[in-house]
Structure 1
Amino acid sequence: MENNRSTDVYNNVIQINETDTSRKFLANVFMWMFVALGVSALCAYIFANDTSLMRMMVNEETRQLSGFAYLVMFAPLAFVLLMRFGLNRISYPVLALLFVAYAAVTGISLSFILLAFTASSVLGVFLTSSVVFGVMAIAGYTTKQDLTKFGSILIMFLIGIVVASLVNMFLHSSGLDMLISYIGVAVFVGLTAYDVQKLKQIGAGLTYGDATASKMALMGGLTLYLDFINLFLFLLRLFGRRR
């Protein structure tokens, strides 16, 4: 009997420690996500409201995008690939610097959106995205159901969205664009819950405070940042009011 009680106490201590570690890990994840959103919002606002900076990206006479604009549009993908594939070789300070630079470049590319849509609709969609994201993040953290199988399905839909978006670049179908936007919202709503649950599980298996945990928290922040940004963009395509 005493041995059984000792085992129960030991298991409870391990469970508490794992829960505490997971919470600290997720707090670090969300901290990096909020840092990225703050940097992106600041850069988007500065470029959208400074005509001299905007001229660097758009020619006022021809209304054509400059080479710098195309660089800004495709640079975020290069940053993501560099961080993901160089994770084990890049030091934590360099990884953090790349992450902040990525958020800044993404914010600059988003400055076009502030020009295409009214400020009030951008703000309204941002607040809506924040509420939806927050609800799904809580759902992903608290649910007891394993979302792994749903995650696989959502990834397949995400691939489909990318393919359909590429096709629609040539078709210019407003109906297909609307369908892609609705599916995109549903996919990233689901991915938010799935990613939070996955990060919660990852946090429980890491030793909080070591280099690996710090890097994983930063990459987790990148994942949730991408979920939020894409959810925001798809909602903006559906409900944003153009100028």
Structure 2
Amino acid sequence: METKTDNFEYVYDNVSYVENPEASRRFIANVFVWMFVALGISSVCTYAFSFIPELSGLLRDTETGQNNIFGTITMFAPLIFVIILARGLNKLSVFATILMFLAFSAIMGISLSYIFYIYSFGTISTAFITAAIVFGVMAIGGYTTQQDLTKFGSILIMLLIGGIVATILNLFIFRSSSFDLLISYILVAVFVGLTAYDVQKLKRIGAGIEYGDSTAKKTAIMGALTLYLDFVNLFLLLLRIFGGNRR
């Protein structure tokens, strides 16, 4: 199920925008470094828990691919980490925030290891490359555009919530593959828009805080988490579309 969080809204609401391109560039660069670190950790964990029998066997039956109790817990564990980070950020130290973020990246990667039991390597590669290209284009667009995307943020969030509700209803009530595919296309459009929106918001946050202090460091981590979730959700939705919407 798709997960999204506006983890740094509390910072944005209290920052007055100051035109400071250099501060924005350094802040955004820091955000993307942490995002790439998280993706690297997740990729290693996904591969390890997919292809190393000793690790895969901790989560599921290696013959049927069915999750055991630990595999099921792992599937929902990333959401717990996101909630802890979002709700407890002001109380966490920089070190604790980084540690939680890295732990989230690892557990998220482990939870994604199931995709190799459902989709072919070619489908996964195609979805990942497509997601990377789309994400990169929209990130650049969000950073360089002069159009204020703030007004679109609330619309995109509402569409996201509606898409999640529709997914749950379809999963338990309607059970329509065609409807599920339609939801996937809509949510792809939503996360494409959110990528540009989030990058622009991060750009403005970076221009309004002092680079290098503890608040800036923790905000960069939360920004990396937000972009990470944008990318992963975009990838999973494209994977569902390219893979015939199999679960």
- Measured after TM superposition, the shift of residue 168 of structure 1 is 1.5
Q: Which moved more, 1:61-70 or 1:150-159?
A: 61-70
Q: Which moved more, 1:109-118 or 1:131-140?
A: 109-118
Task: State the partner residue of 1:57.
Answer: 59
Whether 2:183 is the aligned partner of 1:187: answer: no
Task: State the partner residue of 1:81.
Answer: 83
**Match for residue 158 of structure 1 among 157, 160, 167:** 160
Q: Which moved more, 1:163-172 or 1:206-215?
A: 163-172
**Match for residue 219 of structure 2 among 216, 220, 225:** 216
After superposition, where does 1:1-243 map in structure 2 within 5 Å?
A: 15=19, 18-60=20-62, 64-170=66-172, 171-240=174-243
Amino acid at match of 1:216: T
Q: Which moved more, 1:138-147 or 1:63-72?
A: 63-72
> What SS is found at the alignment partner of 1:224?
helix
- Structure 2, unaligned runs of 5 or more: 1-17
- Measured after TM superposition, the shift of residue 213 of structure 1 is 0.3
- Measured after TM superposition, the shift of residue 54 of structure 1 is 1.7
Rounded to whole Å, the distance in 1 between the matches of 2:65 and 2:78 is 23
- Measured after TM superposition, the shift of residue 124 of structure 1 is 1.5
Rounded to whole Å, the distance in 2 between the matches of 1:120 and 1:224 is 25
Q: Which moved more, 1:113-122 or 1:206-215?
A: 113-122
**Alpha-carbon displacement from aligned partner over 1:110-134 (angstroms, at most 9, x marks no partner):** 1100221111221111111111000
Rounded to whole Å, the distance in 1 between the matches of 2:64 and 2:242 is 29
Amino acid at match of 1:84: A
- Aligned-residue Cα RMSD (Å) equals 1.4
Paired-residue identity, %: 57
Amino acid at match of 1:27: A
Distance 1:138 1:61, change over 3 A: closer
Task: State the partner residue of 1:7.
Answer: none
Rounded to whole Å, the distance in 2 between the matches of 1:60 and 1:111 is 12
The normalised TM-score by structure 2 is 0.88
**Alpha-carbon displacement from aligned partner over 1:140-164 (angstroms, at most 9, x marks no partner):** 0011111011111100000001101
Number of paired residues?
Answer: 227
- Measured after TM superposition, the shift of residue 90 of structure 1 is 0.4
- Measured after TM superposition, the shift of residue 61 of structure 1 is 6.9
- Measured after TM superposition, the shift of residue 57 of structure 1 is 1.6
Task: State the partner residue of 1:10.
Answer: none
Kept in 1, the 8 Å contact 2:65–2:117? The answer is: no
Rounded to whole Å, the distance in 1 between the matches of 2:66 and 2:49 is 17
- Measured after TM superposition, the shift of residue 59 of structure 1 is 2.9
Kept in 1, the 8 Å contact 2:160–2:187? The answer is: yes
Rounded to whole Å, the distance in 1 between the matches of 2:104 and 2:134 is 24
Rounded to whole Å, the distance in 2 between the matches of 1:101 and 1:221 is 14
Amino acid at match of 1:142: T
Q: Which moved more, 1:132-141 or 1:172-181?
A: 172-181
